[in-house]
Amino acid sequence: MTVRIAVFASGGGTNLQALLDHFGGGERGAEVALVVSDRPGAGALDRAARAGVTAHVVPVSGRPAAAVTADTLDVLDAVKSDMIALAGYVRLVPAEVVRRFAGRMVNVHPALLPAFGGKGMYGAHVHRAVLAAGCRVSGPTVHLVSERYDEGRILAQWPVPVLEDDTVERLAARVLRAEHALFPAAVEWLARVLAVARGEAREALDRALTERRGREAGFRLSANRETDVDGIRRMLGLD
Protein backbone atom coordinates (compact mmCIF):
# COMPACT_ATOMS: atom_id res chain seq x y z
CA MET A 1 0.00 0.00 0.00
CA THR A 2 1.31 3.45 -0.92
CA VAL A 3 2.28 5.77 1.94
CA ARG A 4 0.70 9.19 1.42
CA ILE A 5 2.96 12.13 2.30
CA ALA A 6 1.77 15.65 3.13
CA VAL A 7 4.45 18.30 2.60
CA PHE A 8 4.33 21.64 4.46
CA ALA A 9 6.27 24.53 2.93
CA SER A 10 6.33 28.30 3.45
CA GLY A 11 8.66 29.41 0.66
CA GLY A 12 9.84 28.57 -2.83
CA GLY A 13 9.65 24.84 -2.27
CA THR A 14 12.98 23.53 -3.56
CA ASN A 15 12.93 20.74 -0.95
CA LEU A 16 9.34 20.02 -1.97
CA GLN A 17 10.56 19.73 -5.56
CA ALA A 18 13.25 17.29 -4.44
CA LEU A 19 10.52 15.15 -2.88
CA LEU A 20 8.29 15.42 -5.95
CA ASP A 21 11.16 14.33 -8.17
CA HIS A 22 12.16 11.50 -5.83
CA PHE A 23 8.70 10.01 -5.45
CA GLY A 24 7.29 10.97 -8.82
CA GLY A 25 8.00 7.64 -10.49
CA GLY A 26 5.65 5.77 -8.18
CA GLU A 27 8.05 2.88 -7.57
CA ARG A 28 9.23 3.88 -4.07
CA GLY A 29 6.09 2.91 -2.17
CA ALA A 30 5.16 6.50 -1.31
CA GLU A 31 3.77 9.60 -2.98
CA VAL A 32 3.37 13.30 -2.27
CA ALA A 33 -0.39 13.51 -1.84
CA LEU A 34 -0.77 17.01 -0.39
CA VAL A 35 1.04 20.34 -0.12
CA VAL A 36 0.15 22.77 2.67
CA SER A 37 1.43 26.33 2.98
CA ASP A 38 0.76 29.18 5.37
CA ARG A 39 1.37 31.74 2.61
CA PRO A 40 -0.90 32.23 -0.43
CA GLY A 41 1.99 33.40 -2.60
CA ALA A 42 4.41 30.60 -1.74
CA GLY A 43 6.28 29.17 -4.69
CA ALA A 44 5.65 25.72 -3.27
CA LEU A 45 2.00 26.05 -4.31
CA ASP A 46 3.04 26.60 -7.94
CA ARG A 47 5.24 23.49 -7.80
CA ALA A 48 2.31 21.48 -6.44
CA ALA A 49 0.04 22.74 -9.23
CA ARG A 50 2.56 21.79 -11.91
CA ALA A 51 2.88 18.31 -10.39
CA GLY A 52 -0.89 17.86 -10.14
CA VAL A 53 -0.76 17.56 -6.35
CA THR A 54 -3.59 18.81 -4.15
CA ALA A 55 -2.59 22.01 -2.35
CA HIS A 56 -4.16 24.09 0.41
CA VAL A 57 -3.33 27.34 2.14
CA VAL A 58 -3.87 27.25 5.90
CA PRO A 59 -3.24 30.82 7.15
CA VAL A 60 -1.63 31.07 10.57
CA SER A 61 -0.87 34.72 11.27
CA GLY A 62 -3.51 36.43 13.43
CA ARG A 63 -5.74 33.36 13.71
CA PRO A 64 -6.75 31.43 16.85
CA ALA A 65 -4.67 28.31 17.39
CA ALA A 66 -7.81 26.17 17.52
CA ALA A 67 -8.88 27.33 14.05
CA VAL A 68 -5.43 26.63 12.57
CA THR A 69 -5.42 23.18 14.17
CA ALA A 70 -8.89 22.31 12.88
CA ASP A 71 -8.15 23.49 9.34
CA THR A 72 -4.83 21.63 9.28
CA LEU A 73 -6.35 18.36 10.44
CA ASP A 74 -9.21 18.73 7.96
CA VAL A 75 -6.92 18.99 4.93
CA LEU A 76 -4.71 16.15 6.19
CA ASP A 77 -7.70 13.88 6.77
CA ALA A 78 -9.24 14.75 3.40
CA VAL A 79 -6.41 13.02 1.53
CA LYS A 80 -5.81 10.32 4.19
CA SER A 81 -2.28 11.51 4.96
CA ASP A 82 0.03 8.90 6.50
CA MET A 83 2.97 11.17 7.32
CA ILE A 84 4.12 14.79 7.14
CA ALA A 85 7.36 16.26 5.79
CA LEU A 86 8.19 19.86 6.73
CA ALA A 87 10.15 21.33 3.83
CA GLY A 88 10.98 24.91 4.74
CA TYR A 89 7.87 25.40 6.87
CA VAL A 90 8.65 28.25 9.28
CA ARG A 91 5.60 27.93 11.55
CA LEU A 92 5.32 25.86 14.70
CA VAL A 93 3.00 22.97 13.87
CA PRO A 94 -0.05 22.88 16.21
CA ALA A 95 0.50 20.57 19.18
CA GLU A 96 -2.54 18.43 18.40
CA VAL A 97 -1.26 17.80 14.87
CA VAL A 98 2.16 16.85 16.25
CA ARG A 99 0.57 14.40 18.68
CA ARG A 100 -1.65 12.91 15.97
CA PHE A 101 1.38 12.31 13.73
CA ALA A 102 3.92 11.47 16.45
CA GLY A 103 6.74 9.47 14.89
CA ARG A 104 5.33 10.22 11.43
CA MET A 105 6.43 13.84 10.96
CA VAL A 106 9.92 14.93 9.89
CA ASN A 107 11.63 18.26 9.31
CA VAL A 108 14.79 19.25 7.47
CA HIS A 109 16.90 21.92 9.20
CA PRO A 110 19.89 23.65 7.52
CA ALA A 111 22.39 23.10 10.35
CA LEU A 112 23.80 20.25 12.40
CA LEU A 113 21.40 20.12 15.32
CA PRO A 114 21.34 20.53 18.24
CA ALA A 115 23.46 23.56 17.32
CA PHE A 116 21.81 26.55 15.63
CA GLY A 117 18.23 25.44 16.18
CA GLY A 118 15.17 26.92 17.85
CA LYS A 119 12.71 29.70 17.21
CA GLY A 120 13.86 32.16 14.56
CA MET A 121 16.66 29.90 13.34
CA TYR A 122 15.80 29.25 9.72
CA GLY A 123 17.18 30.11 6.29
CA ALA A 124 19.84 32.80 6.17
CA HIS A 125 19.61 33.33 9.95
CA VAL A 126 21.10 29.87 10.47
CA HIS A 127 23.97 30.26 8.00
CA ARG A 128 24.83 33.73 9.31
CA ALA A 129 25.05 32.31 12.84
CA VAL A 130 27.23 29.42 11.66
CA LEU A 131 29.69 31.81 10.02
CA ALA A 132 29.69 34.15 13.00
CA ALA A 133 30.55 31.24 15.30
CA GLY A 134 33.56 30.31 13.15
CA CYS A 135 32.36 26.75 12.53
CA ARG A 136 34.30 24.68 10.01
CA VAL A 137 31.47 22.21 9.37
CA SER A 138 27.74 22.70 8.89
CA GLY A 139 25.08 20.73 7.02
CA PRO A 140 21.45 19.64 7.10
CA THR A 141 19.67 17.61 9.76
CA VAL A 142 16.51 15.55 9.31
CA HIS A 143 14.67 14.98 12.57
CA LEU A 144 11.34 13.91 13.95
CA VAL A 145 9.08 16.81 14.91
CA SER A 146 8.14 17.52 18.51
CA GLU A 147 6.09 20.31 20.04
CA ARG A 148 9.17 22.55 20.26
CA TYR A 149 11.29 23.91 17.43
CA ASP A 150 14.09 21.58 16.26
CA GLU A 151 14.14 19.36 19.36
CA GLY A 152 12.85 16.07 17.98
CA ARG A 153 14.96 12.92 17.60
CA ILE A 154 17.66 13.25 14.92
CA LEU A 155 17.32 10.74 12.07
CA ALA A 156 20.08 11.79 9.65
CA GLN A 157 22.75 14.45 9.10
CA TRP A 158 25.08 15.34 6.22
CA PRO A 159 28.28 17.23 7.10
CA VAL A 160 29.11 20.09 4.72
CA PRO A 161 32.42 22.01 4.89
CA VAL A 162 32.46 25.69 5.70
CA LEU A 163 35.12 27.39 3.58
CA GLU A 164 37.26 30.34 4.67
CA ASP A 165 35.84 32.70 2.07
CA ASP A 166 32.21 31.60 2.48
CA THR A 167 29.38 34.09 2.45
CA VAL A 168 25.91 33.39 3.75
CA GLU A 169 24.73 32.83 0.18
CA ARG A 170 27.53 30.43 -0.79
CA LEU A 171 27.19 28.37 2.37
CA ALA A 172 23.40 28.28 2.01
CA ALA A 173 23.69 26.98 -1.57
CA ARG A 174 26.13 24.24 -0.55
CA VAL A 175 23.97 23.10 2.36
CA LEU A 176 20.85 23.19 0.21
CA ARG A 177 22.39 20.79 -2.30
CA ALA A 178 22.97 18.37 0.57
CA GLU A 179 19.40 18.86 1.78
CA HIS A 180 18.07 17.91 -1.65
CA ALA A 181 19.94 14.59 -1.44
CA LEU A 182 19.42 13.80 2.26
CA PHE A 183 15.80 14.80 2.79
CA PRO A 184 14.16 12.56 0.15
CA ALA A 185 16.27 9.59 1.28
CA ALA A 186 15.27 10.10 4.92
CA VAL A 187 11.60 10.56 4.05
CA GLU A 188 11.66 7.39 1.98
CA TRP A 189 13.28 5.48 4.85
CA LEU A 190 10.57 6.59 7.28
CA ALA A 191 7.84 5.82 4.74
CA ARG A 192 9.20 2.28 4.38
CA VAL A 193 9.29 1.86 8.16
CA LEU A 194 5.67 2.98 8.38
CA ALA A 195 4.66 0.65 5.55
CA VAL A 196 6.28 -2.32 7.31
CA ALA A 197 4.67 -1.38 10.62
CA ARG A 198 1.29 -1.01 8.96
CA GLY A 199 1.69 -4.37 7.24
CA GLU A 200 2.60 -6.06 10.52
CA ALA A 201 -0.37 -4.43 12.23
CA ARG A 202 -2.67 -5.61 9.44
CA GLU A 203 -1.30 -9.16 9.72
CA ALA A 204 -1.81 -9.11 13.49
CA LEU A 205 -5.37 -7.87 13.01
CA ASP A 206 -6.07 -10.55 10.40
CA ARG A 207 -4.75 -13.23 12.77
CA ALA A 208 -6.87 -11.92 15.63
CA LEU A 209 -9.99 -11.84 13.43
CA THR A 210 -9.31 -15.37 12.19
CA GLU A 211 -8.91 -16.64 15.75
CA ARG A 212 -12.07 -14.86 16.82
CA ARG A 213 -14.06 -16.33 13.93
CA GLY A 214 -12.75 -19.78 14.93
CA ARG A 215 -13.88 -19.30 18.51
CA GLU A 216 -17.28 -18.02 17.40
CA ALA A 217 -17.69 -20.97 15.02
CA GLY A 218 -16.82 -23.38 17.83
CA PHE A 219 -19.33 -21.71 20.11
CA ARG A 220 -22.06 -21.94 17.50
CA LEU A 221 -21.26 -25.63 16.93
CA SER A 222 -21.49 -26.36 20.65
CA ALA A 223 -24.70 -24.39 20.98
CA ASN A 224 -26.29 -26.34 18.12
CA ARG A 225 -25.52 -29.75 19.60
CA GLU A 226 -28.32 -31.62 21.38
CA THR A 227 -27.66 -31.24 25.07
CA ASP A 228 -27.32 -34.52 27.02
CA VAL A 229 -29.28 -33.37 30.08
CA ASP A 230 -29.28 -36.81 31.73
CA GLY A 231 -25.51 -37.17 31.28
CA ILE A 232 -24.91 -33.76 32.85
CA ARG A 233 -27.13 -34.63 35.81
CA ARG A 234 -25.23 -37.91 36.37
CA MET A 235 -21.88 -36.08 36.14
CA LEU A 236 -22.99 -33.63 38.80
CA GLY A 237 -24.33 -36.41 41.03
CA LEU A 238 -27.88 -35.20 40.83
CA ASP A 239 -29.32 -38.60 39.95
Q: Would you please indicate which residues are annotated as catalytic (active-site) residues? A: 109
Please give the span between the terminal C-alpha atoms of the chain, in angstroms, as a whole number.
63
DSSP secondary structure code for residue 190 in this structure:
H
CB count in 10 Å sphere of residue 100: 17
Q: What is the 3-state secondary structure (H, E, C) of 135-152?
A: CCEECCEEEECCCCCCCC
Asked if residues 72 and 100 have their Cβ atoms less than 8 Å apart, the reply is: no
Asked if residues 86 and 105 have their Cβ atoms less than 8 Å apart, the reply is: yes
Residue 85 C-alpha from the chain's centroid: 5
